[in-house]
Amino acid sequence: MNEQKRLPINWMDILWLFFLAGLAALPPVFEIHKQLTLLAIGVVQFSEGWLLARSPRRGAVYIVLLKIALATLLIDHTGEVGINSSYYPIFYLPVVTAAEYFGPWLTLLWTALASAAYCSYLYPALQEYEITAESYSLLAIRILFFFLAGMVVNRFVVENRRQIKRYQELAETLAETNRKLEQAQEEARRSERLAALGQMSAGLAHEIRNPLGVIKGSAEMLHQKLGESNPLASELAGYISTETNRLSALVTRFLDFARPLHAELTLQQITPVLDRALRSVSMTRKDDDTSVRVERQYQENLPPLPLDESLCEQAFVNLIQNAYDAMGNNGGTLRVIAGRVNSGRRNGVEVRIEDTGPGIPAELREQIFNPFVTTKKTGVGLGLSIVSRIIDGHHGTIRVADEDGNGRRGAGFVVFFPLRAENAIDSAS
Protein backbone atom coordinates (compact mmCIF):
# COMPACT_ATOMS: atom_id res chain seq x y z
CA MET A 1 0.00 0.00 0.00
CA ASN A 2 2.72 2.43 1.00
CA GLU A 3 4.79 1.41 -1.97
CA GLN A 4 2.10 2.64 -4.28
CA LYS A 5 1.80 5.98 -2.54
CA ARG A 6 5.49 6.61 -2.85
CA LEU A 7 5.29 6.74 -6.62
CA PRO A 8 5.53 10.38 -7.80
CA ILE A 9 2.04 10.52 -9.33
CA ASN A 10 -0.60 7.88 -9.50
CA TRP A 11 -4.16 7.88 -10.68
CA MET A 12 -5.46 7.95 -7.10
CA ASP A 13 -3.77 11.34 -6.66
CA ILE A 14 -5.49 12.65 -9.77
CA LEU A 15 -8.82 11.49 -8.36
CA TRP A 16 -7.99 13.36 -5.17
CA LEU A 17 -7.40 16.51 -7.20
CA PHE A 18 -10.84 16.16 -8.81
CA PHE A 19 -12.46 15.51 -5.48
CA LEU A 20 -10.88 18.56 -3.84
CA ALA A 21 -11.58 20.75 -6.86
CA GLY A 22 -15.21 19.64 -6.70
CA LEU A 23 -15.45 20.64 -3.05
CA ALA A 24 -13.80 23.99 -3.81
CA ALA A 25 -16.29 24.72 -6.58
CA LEU A 26 -19.26 24.13 -4.29
CA PRO A 27 -20.60 26.82 -1.99
CA PRO A 28 -19.39 28.68 -0.08
CA VAL A 29 -17.08 29.50 -2.99
CA PHE A 30 -15.81 32.87 -1.80
CA GLU A 31 -14.87 31.76 1.69
CA ILE A 32 -11.09 32.04 1.37
CA HIS A 33 -10.44 30.06 4.57
CA LYS A 34 -12.38 27.12 3.23
CA GLN A 35 -10.34 27.13 0.00
CA LEU A 36 -7.08 27.40 1.91
CA THR A 37 -8.07 24.50 4.14
CA LEU A 38 -8.93 22.36 1.10
CA LEU A 39 -5.55 23.26 -0.36
CA ALA A 40 -3.86 22.20 2.87
CA ILE A 41 -5.78 18.90 2.83
CA GLY A 42 -4.50 18.36 -0.71
CA VAL A 43 -0.92 19.06 0.37
CA VAL A 44 -1.16 16.66 3.32
CA GLN A 45 -2.65 14.00 1.08
CA PHE A 46 0.11 14.31 -1.50
CA SER A 47 2.95 14.35 1.03
CA GLU A 48 1.60 11.34 2.91
CA GLY A 49 3.73 8.81 1.06
CA TRP A 50 6.88 10.85 1.49
CA LEU A 51 6.28 11.38 5.21
CA LEU A 52 5.51 7.71 5.79
CA ALA A 53 8.64 6.66 3.96
CA ARG A 54 10.76 8.87 6.23
CA SER A 55 9.21 7.74 9.50
CA PRO A 56 6.45 5.15 9.25
CA ARG A 57 5.21 5.28 12.84
CA ARG A 58 5.52 8.96 13.69
CA GLY A 59 4.58 9.98 10.16
CA ALA A 60 1.22 8.23 10.51
CA VAL A 61 0.54 10.01 13.82
CA TYR A 62 1.30 13.41 12.28
CA ILE A 63 -0.83 12.73 9.25
CA VAL A 64 -3.89 11.71 11.25
CA LEU A 65 -3.46 14.65 13.63
CA LEU A 66 -3.12 17.10 10.73
CA LYS A 67 -6.16 15.66 9.01
CA ILE A 68 -8.27 15.97 12.18
CA ALA A 69 -7.13 19.60 12.59
CA LEU A 70 -7.87 20.44 8.94
CA ALA A 71 -11.26 18.71 9.01
CA THR A 72 -12.15 20.71 12.12
CA LEU A 73 -11.08 23.94 10.40
CA LEU A 74 -13.05 23.11 7.25
CA ILE A 75 -16.23 22.53 9.26
CA ASP A 76 -15.77 25.91 10.89
CA HIS A 77 -15.67 27.73 7.58
CA THR A 78 -18.47 25.95 5.75
CA GLY A 79 -21.54 26.58 7.85
CA GLU A 80 -23.30 29.16 9.97
CA VAL A 81 -22.73 26.86 12.88
CA GLY A 82 -19.86 24.40 12.56
CA ILE A 83 -21.84 21.47 13.88
CA ASN A 84 -24.40 21.88 11.10
CA SER A 85 -21.94 22.06 8.23
CA SER A 86 -22.72 19.65 5.40
CA TYR A 87 -18.97 19.12 5.06
CA TYR A 88 -18.91 16.98 8.22
CA PRO A 89 -18.10 13.75 6.26
CA ILE A 90 -14.61 15.24 5.85
CA PHE A 91 -13.97 13.59 9.24
CA TYR A 92 -14.07 10.23 7.45
CA LEU A 93 -10.69 11.25 6.08
CA PRO A 94 -8.70 11.08 9.36
CA VAL A 95 -10.79 8.10 10.52
CA VAL A 96 -10.07 6.03 7.43
CA THR A 97 -6.41 7.07 7.42
CA ALA A 98 -6.07 5.95 11.05
CA ALA A 99 -7.79 2.66 10.21
CA GLU A 100 -5.29 2.18 7.43
CA TYR A 101 -2.15 2.64 9.53
CA PHE A 102 -3.07 1.54 13.06
CA GLY A 103 -4.54 -1.47 14.85
CA PRO A 104 -8.19 -1.75 15.94
CA TRP A 105 -7.79 -0.13 19.37
CA LEU A 106 -5.80 2.84 18.12
CA THR A 107 -8.29 3.27 15.28
CA LEU A 108 -11.07 3.49 17.88
CA LEU A 109 -9.02 6.02 19.82
CA TRP A 110 -8.34 8.17 16.76
CA THR A 111 -12.02 8.00 15.77
CA ALA A 112 -12.98 9.11 19.27
CA LEU A 113 -10.56 12.04 18.94
CA ALA A 114 -12.00 13.01 15.55
CA SER A 115 -15.54 12.78 16.99
CA ALA A 116 -14.50 14.92 19.95
CA ALA A 117 -13.10 17.53 17.56
CA TYR A 118 -16.38 17.52 15.68
CA CYS A 119 -18.43 17.76 18.88
CA SER A 120 -16.35 20.68 20.07
CA TYR A 121 -18.65 22.81 17.88
CA LEU A 122 -21.52 21.92 20.18
CA TYR A 123 -20.21 24.46 22.66
CA PRO A 124 -20.52 27.63 20.48
CA ALA A 125 -23.84 26.28 19.13
CA LEU A 126 -25.21 25.88 22.64
CA GLN A 127 -24.38 29.52 23.38
CA GLU A 128 -26.69 30.72 20.63
CA TYR A 129 -29.33 28.06 20.07
CA GLU A 130 -31.44 25.56 21.88
CA ILE A 131 -30.57 22.09 20.56
CA THR A 132 -33.39 19.62 20.16
CA ALA A 133 -33.29 15.93 21.03
CA GLU A 134 -33.66 15.19 17.34
CA SER A 135 -30.49 17.10 16.54
CA TYR A 136 -28.65 15.17 19.22
CA SER A 137 -29.80 11.89 17.64
CA LEU A 138 -28.63 13.12 14.26
CA LEU A 139 -25.24 13.98 15.73
CA ALA A 140 -25.01 10.56 17.40
CA ILE A 141 -25.85 8.85 14.09
CA ARG A 142 -23.14 10.78 12.29
CA ILE A 143 -20.58 9.88 14.93
CA LEU A 144 -21.56 6.21 14.99
CA PHE A 145 -21.00 6.11 11.24
CA PHE A 146 -17.49 7.47 11.78
CA PHE A 147 -16.81 4.46 14.00
CA LEU A 148 -18.42 2.08 11.58
CA ALA A 149 -16.28 3.32 8.70
CA GLY A 150 -13.14 3.13 10.86
CA MET A 151 -13.86 -0.45 11.94
CA VAL A 152 -14.77 -1.72 8.48
CA VAL A 153 -11.63 -0.29 6.87
CA ASN A 154 -9.46 -1.47 9.74
CA ARG A 155 -10.76 -5.00 9.52
CA PHE A 156 -10.00 -5.10 5.86
CA VAL A 157 -6.50 -3.69 6.38
CA VAL A 158 -5.70 -6.09 9.23
CA GLU A 159 -6.85 -9.04 7.17
CA ASN A 160 -4.75 -7.80 4.29
CA ARG A 161 -1.68 -7.51 6.50
CA ARG A 162 -2.26 -11.02 7.80
CA GLN A 163 -2.40 -12.34 4.24
CA ILE A 164 0.83 -10.58 3.34
CA LYS A 165 2.53 -12.07 6.39
CA ARG A 166 1.25 -15.50 5.47
CA TYR A 167 2.62 -15.17 1.94
CA GLN A 168 5.96 -14.03 3.28
CA GLU A 169 6.15 -17.03 5.59
CA LEU A 170 5.18 -19.28 2.73
CA ALA A 171 7.90 -17.79 0.56
CA GLU A 172 10.44 -18.37 3.32
CA THR A 173 9.46 -22.01 3.76
CA LEU A 174 9.63 -22.44 0.03
CA ALA A 175 13.15 -20.99 -0.08
CA GLU A 176 14.19 -23.28 2.78
CA THR A 177 12.71 -26.33 1.03
CA ASN A 178 14.52 -25.35 -2.13
CA ARG A 179 17.79 -25.13 -0.29
CA LYS A 180 17.26 -28.58 1.21
CA LEU A 181 16.36 -29.96 -2.19
CA GLU A 182 19.56 -28.60 -3.69
CA GLN A 183 21.53 -30.14 -0.85
CA ALA A 184 19.81 -33.48 -1.38
CA GLN A 185 20.52 -33.31 -5.09
CA GLU A 186 24.16 -32.55 -4.39
CA GLU A 187 24.32 -35.58 -2.09
CA ALA A 188 22.61 -37.76 -4.69
CA ARG A 189 25.10 -36.63 -7.33
CA ARG A 190 27.92 -37.47 -4.96
CA SER A 191 26.55 -40.96 -4.39
CA GLU A 192 26.15 -41.47 -8.13
CA ARG A 193 29.71 -40.39 -8.79
CA LEU A 194 30.94 -42.72 -6.09
CA ALA A 195 28.95 -45.61 -7.46
CA ALA A 196 30.23 -45.12 -11.02
CA LEU A 197 33.83 -44.78 -9.89
CA GLY A 198 33.40 -47.74 -7.63
CA GLN A 199 32.32 -49.97 -10.46
CA MET A 200 35.13 -48.81 -12.65
CA SER A 201 37.83 -49.29 -10.07
CA ALA A 202 36.40 -52.66 -9.12
CA GLY A 203 36.77 -53.85 -12.70
CA LEU A 204 40.23 -52.40 -13.00
CA ALA A 205 41.44 -53.70 -9.66
CA HIS A 206 40.13 -57.13 -10.41
CA GLU A 207 42.01 -57.22 -13.67
CA ILE A 208 45.21 -56.00 -12.05
CA ARG A 209 45.03 -58.43 -9.18
CA ASN A 210 45.53 -61.60 -11.19
CA PRO A 211 48.73 -60.59 -13.02
CA LEU A 212 49.98 -59.12 -9.74
CA GLY A 213 49.55 -62.52 -8.10
CA VAL A 214 51.58 -64.13 -10.88
CA ILE A 215 54.35 -61.50 -10.66
CA LYS A 216 54.50 -61.86 -6.91
CA GLY A 217 54.65 -65.65 -7.02
CA SER A 218 57.33 -65.60 -9.71
CA ALA A 219 59.42 -63.03 -7.85
CA GLU A 220 59.30 -65.12 -4.70
CA MET A 221 60.33 -68.21 -6.60
CA LEU A 222 63.19 -66.35 -8.25
CA HIS A 223 64.30 -65.06 -4.87
CA GLN A 224 64.40 -68.60 -3.50
CA LYS A 225 65.96 -70.20 -6.54
CA LEU A 226 68.71 -67.67 -7.02
CA GLY A 227 69.42 -67.61 -3.32
CA GLU A 228 73.14 -67.49 -2.57
CA SER A 229 74.22 -68.01 -6.20
CA ASN A 230 73.32 -64.51 -7.40
CA PRO A 231 72.87 -62.15 -4.48
CA LEU A 232 72.19 -59.09 -6.65
CA ALA A 233 69.42 -60.74 -8.66
CA SER A 234 68.02 -62.20 -5.48
CA GLU A 235 67.91 -58.73 -3.87
CA LEU A 236 66.16 -57.30 -6.93
CA ALA A 237 63.64 -60.14 -6.85
CA GLY A 238 63.06 -59.22 -3.19
CA TYR A 239 62.28 -55.62 -4.20
CA ILE A 240 59.86 -56.84 -6.82
CA SER A 241 58.17 -58.96 -4.22
CA THR A 242 57.81 -56.18 -1.59
CA GLU A 243 56.62 -53.59 -4.11
CA THR A 244 54.12 -56.09 -5.50
CA ASN A 245 52.87 -56.56 -1.95
CA ARG A 246 52.32 -52.83 -1.66
CA LEU A 247 50.50 -52.72 -4.97
CA SER A 248 48.42 -55.66 -3.95
CA ALA A 249 47.48 -53.92 -0.67
CA LEU A 250 46.47 -50.86 -2.65
CA VAL A 251 44.33 -52.95 -4.97
CA THR A 252 42.68 -54.53 -1.96
CA ARG A 253 41.79 -51.06 -0.70
CA PHE A 254 40.27 -50.18 -4.05
CA LEU A 255 38.27 -53.36 -3.97
CA ASP A 256 37.13 -52.61 -0.44
CA PHE A 257 35.98 -49.28 -1.67
CA ALA A 258 34.24 -50.70 -4.70
CA ARG A 259 32.53 -53.63 -3.06
CA PRO A 260 28.82 -53.04 -2.61
CA LEU A 261 28.30 -52.07 0.95
CA HIS A 262 25.99 -54.18 3.06
CA ALA A 263 25.48 -52.58 6.39
CA GLU A 264 24.11 -55.01 8.97
CA LEU A 265 22.35 -52.67 11.31
CA THR A 266 21.79 -53.75 14.88
CA LEU A 267 20.77 -51.53 17.77
CA GLN A 268 23.77 -50.58 19.89
CA GLN A 269 25.55 -47.78 21.68
CA ILE A 270 27.78 -45.59 19.55
CA THR A 271 30.32 -44.46 22.17
CA PRO A 272 32.09 -47.84 22.58
CA VAL A 273 32.57 -47.88 18.80
CA LEU A 274 34.10 -44.41 18.98
CA ASP A 275 36.39 -45.50 21.80
CA ARG A 276 37.58 -48.54 19.85
CA ALA A 277 38.32 -46.39 16.80
CA LEU A 278 40.26 -43.89 18.93
CA ARG A 279 42.26 -46.69 20.53
CA SER A 280 43.10 -48.40 17.27
CA VAL A 281 44.34 -45.19 15.66
CA SER A 282 46.37 -44.12 18.68
CA MET A 283 47.98 -47.58 18.82
CA THR A 284 49.25 -47.36 15.27
CA ARG A 285 50.54 -43.87 15.93
CA LYS A 286 51.94 -44.16 19.40
CA ASP A 287 55.55 -43.37 18.60
CA ASP A 288 55.31 -40.14 16.72
CA ASP A 289 52.05 -38.57 17.83
CA THR A 290 52.22 -38.52 21.60
CA SER A 291 51.48 -34.81 21.54
CA VAL A 292 47.88 -35.30 20.41
CA ARG A 293 45.49 -34.79 23.30
CA VAL A 294 42.17 -36.58 22.99
CA GLU A 295 39.11 -34.97 24.54
CA ARG A 296 35.88 -36.93 24.75
CA GLN A 297 32.58 -35.23 25.38
CA TYR A 298 29.87 -37.88 25.37
CA GLN A 299 26.40 -36.93 26.45
CA GLU A 300 24.99 -39.33 29.01
CA ASN A 301 22.18 -41.76 28.24
CA LEU A 302 22.54 -41.68 24.48
CA PRO A 303 19.95 -43.92 22.84
CA PRO A 304 21.10 -47.10 21.06
CA LEU A 305 21.30 -46.68 17.28
CA PRO A 306 21.04 -49.05 14.31
CA LEU A 307 24.74 -49.48 13.51
CA ASP A 308 27.03 -51.81 11.66
CA GLU A 309 29.77 -52.03 14.24
CA SER A 310 32.74 -52.78 12.04
CA LEU A 311 31.78 -50.41 9.22
CA CYS A 312 31.10 -47.67 11.71
CA GLU A 313 34.44 -48.23 13.39
CA GLN A 314 36.11 -48.10 9.98
CA ALA A 315 34.44 -44.74 9.26
CA PHE A 316 35.56 -43.27 12.57
CA VAL A 317 39.07 -44.66 12.12
CA ASN A 318 39.30 -42.87 8.76
CA LEU A 319 38.10 -39.58 10.23
CA ILE A 320 40.38 -39.82 13.26
CA GLN A 321 43.35 -40.81 11.09
CA ASN A 322 42.77 -37.71 8.97
CA ALA A 323 42.66 -35.59 12.11
CA TYR A 324 45.99 -37.06 13.29
CA ASP A 325 47.45 -36.53 9.82
CA ALA A 326 46.27 -32.92 9.81
CA MET A 327 47.85 -32.12 13.18
CA GLY A 328 51.07 -33.84 12.18
CA ASN A 329 54.03 -33.88 14.51
CA ASN A 330 53.11 -30.56 16.09
CA GLY A 331 50.29 -32.27 17.90
CA GLY A 332 47.12 -30.61 19.08
CA THR A 333 43.74 -31.50 20.45
CA LEU A 334 41.37 -34.05 19.01
CA ARG A 335 37.86 -33.47 20.31
CA VAL A 336 35.22 -36.17 19.91
CA ILE A 337 31.71 -35.08 20.81
CA ALA A 338 28.61 -37.25 20.78
CA GLY A 339 25.24 -35.77 21.60
CA ARG A 340 21.53 -36.26 21.13
CA VAL A 341 19.76 -34.25 18.40
CA ASN A 342 16.04 -33.91 18.39
CA SER A 343 15.09 -30.96 16.27
CA GLY A 344 12.06 -31.34 14.05
CA ARG A 345 12.53 -34.34 11.83
CA ARG A 346 16.18 -34.84 12.77
CA ASN A 347 16.00 -37.31 15.55
CA GLY A 348 19.15 -39.21 16.40
CA VAL A 349 22.75 -38.79 17.52
CA GLU A 350 25.33 -36.37 16.19
CA VAL A 351 29.04 -37.14 16.38
CA ARG A 352 31.55 -34.34 15.89
CA ILE A 353 35.22 -35.00 15.29
CA GLU A 354 37.25 -31.83 15.57
CA ASP A 355 40.97 -31.24 15.38
CA THR A 356 43.26 -28.25 15.74
CA GLY A 357 45.12 -28.75 12.49
CA PRO A 358 45.21 -26.28 9.60
CA GLY A 359 41.57 -26.89 8.63
CA ILE A 360 40.07 -27.58 5.23
CA PRO A 361 40.40 -24.87 2.57
CA ALA A 362 37.03 -23.59 1.37
CA GLU A 363 37.68 -24.65 -2.21
CA LEU A 364 38.25 -28.26 -1.13
CA ARG A 365 35.18 -28.58 1.06
CA GLU A 366 32.91 -29.82 -1.72
CA GLN A 367 35.42 -32.22 -3.17
CA ILE A 368 37.04 -34.04 -0.29
CA PHE A 369 34.29 -36.65 -0.22
CA ASN A 370 35.02 -37.56 -3.82
CA PRO A 371 37.34 -40.51 -4.36
CA PHE A 372 41.00 -39.87 -5.15
CA VAL A 373 40.93 -36.32 -3.82
CA THR A 374 43.95 -35.93 -1.62
CA THR A 375 46.47 -33.30 -0.65
CA LYS A 376 48.86 -35.74 0.96
CA LYS A 377 52.03 -36.97 -0.67
CA THR A 378 51.28 -40.61 0.09
CA GLY A 379 47.51 -40.24 0.27
CA VAL A 380 45.08 -42.20 -1.86
CA GLY A 381 42.08 -39.97 -1.28
CA LEU A 382 39.68 -42.82 -0.57
CA GLY A 383 39.27 -42.33 3.19
CA LEU A 384 36.46 -39.82 3.18
CA SER A 385 34.60 -41.33 0.24
CA ILE A 386 34.51 -44.63 2.13
CA VAL A 387 33.26 -42.77 5.21
CA SER A 388 30.61 -41.11 3.08
CA ARG A 389 29.42 -44.45 1.73
CA ILE A 390 29.33 -46.04 5.17
CA ILE A 391 27.26 -43.14 6.54
CA ASP A 392 24.94 -43.45 3.53
CA GLY A 393 24.55 -47.11 4.45
CA HIS A 394 23.38 -45.96 7.89
CA HIS A 395 20.96 -43.47 6.30
CA GLY A 396 22.86 -40.73 8.08
CA THR A 397 24.58 -37.59 6.84
CA ILE A 398 28.09 -36.22 7.02
CA ARG A 399 29.24 -32.68 6.47
CA VAL A 400 32.20 -30.46 7.16
CA ALA A 401 31.46 -28.33 10.23
CA ASP A 402 30.99 -24.64 9.55
CA GLU A 403 33.62 -22.33 10.87
CA ASP A 404 32.04 -20.83 13.93
CA GLY A 405 33.64 -17.44 13.46
CA ASN A 406 35.18 -17.20 16.92
CA GLY A 407 38.58 -18.22 15.78
CA ARG A 408 38.36 -21.98 16.22
CA ARG A 409 41.16 -23.44 14.19
CA GLY A 410 41.15 -26.79 12.52
CA ALA A 411 38.69 -29.01 10.78
CA GLY A 412 35.50 -30.57 12.06
CA PHE A 413 33.26 -33.28 10.68
CA VAL A 414 29.67 -33.66 11.76
CA VAL A 415 28.14 -37.10 11.37
CA PHE A 416 24.46 -37.62 12.02
CA PHE A 417 22.98 -41.05 12.73
CA PRO A 418 19.20 -41.33 12.71
CA LEU A 419 17.47 -43.08 15.58
CA ARG A 420 15.56 -45.36 13.28
CA ALA A 421 16.91 -46.42 9.94
CA GLU A 422 13.57 -46.85 8.18
CA ASN A 423 12.41 -43.25 8.54
CA ALA A 424 15.91 -42.00 8.09
CA ILE A 425 15.56 -40.84 4.51
CA ASP A 426 13.32 -37.94 5.39
CA SER A 427 14.97 -37.25 8.71
CA ALA A 428 18.27 -36.67 6.98
CA SER A 429 18.46 -33.13 5.75
Ligand X SMILES: Nc1ncnc2c1ncn2[C@@H]1O[C@H](COP(=O)(O)OP(=O)(O)O)[C@@H](O)[C@H]1O
| 306 interacts with ligand X by CB under 6 A | no
Q: Which is closer to Mg ion, CB of 92 or CB of 413?
A: 413
Tell me if 198 contacts ligand X by CB under 6 A.
no
- For residue 305, the cross-strand partners are 268
Q: From residue 343 to residue 382, what is the string marking binding to ligand X with x (rule CB under 6 A)?
A: ------------x-x-xx-------x----xxxx--xxxx
β-bridge mates for residue 413, sequence order: 353, 400
Query: Which of helix, strand or coil describes residue 396?
Result: coil
Binding residues for Mg ion, total number by CB under 5 A: 2
**Among all residues, whose Cβ is closest to ligand X?**
383
Nearest residue to 305 via CA among 195, 427, 389, 183: 427
Nearer Cβ to ligand X (37/356): 356
Q: How far is the CB of 380 from ligand X (least distance, A)?
A: 5
CA distance 208 to 327: 35
Q: Binding-site residue total for ligand X (CB under 6 A)?
A: 21
> What would the x/- binding string for ligand X be over residues 319 to 348, using CB under 6 A?
---xx--x----------------------
Give the number of other Cβ atoms within 10 Å of residue 297's Cβ: 10
Binding at 355: pick from ligand X, Mg ion, none (beta carbon under 5-8 Å per type): ligand X
What are the residues facing 296 on neighbouring strands?
336
Helix axes 56-76, 32-54, angle to 10 degrees: 170
Give the distance, in angstroms, between the CA of residue 398 and the centroid of all CA atoms in the same chain.
Answer: 18
User: Rounded distance, CA 123 to CA 20, Å?
Assistant: 29
- Residues 46-75, one symbol each (x = binds ligand X by CB under 6 A, - = not), give ------------------------------
The interface partner of residue 351, options being ligand X, Mg ion, none and the CB cut-off 5 to 8 Å by kind, is: none
Q: Taking contact as CB under 6 A, which single stretch among the options 58-66, 70-78, 107-115, 318-326 is the one that binds ligand X?
A: 318-326
With CB under 5 A as the contact rule, the residue among 322, 385, 388, 397 that binds Mg ion is 322
396 is a site residue for Mg ion (CB under 5 A): no
Cα distance between residue 347 and residue 341, in whole Å: 6
CB of 209 to ligand X, least distance (A): 21
- C-alpha span between 398 and 201 (Å, rounded): 24
Parallel, antiparallel or unpaired: strands 292-298 and 332-343: parallel
Other C-beta atoms lying within 10 Å of the C-beta of residue 388? 23
Q: Do 220 and 205 contact (CB within 8 A), yes or no?
A: no
Q: How far is the CB of 253 from Mg ion (least distance, A)?
A: 11
Among 237, 384, 421, 424, binds ligand X (CB under 6 A): 384
User: Omega into 28 within 30° of 0, i.e. cis?
Assistant: yes
If you count them, how many residues does the chain have?
A: 429
Q: Which residues bind Mg ion (CB under 5 A)?
A: 322, 383
Q: Which residues bind ligand X (CB under 6 A)?
A: 318, 322-323, 326, 355, 357, 359-360, 368, 373-376, 379-385, 411
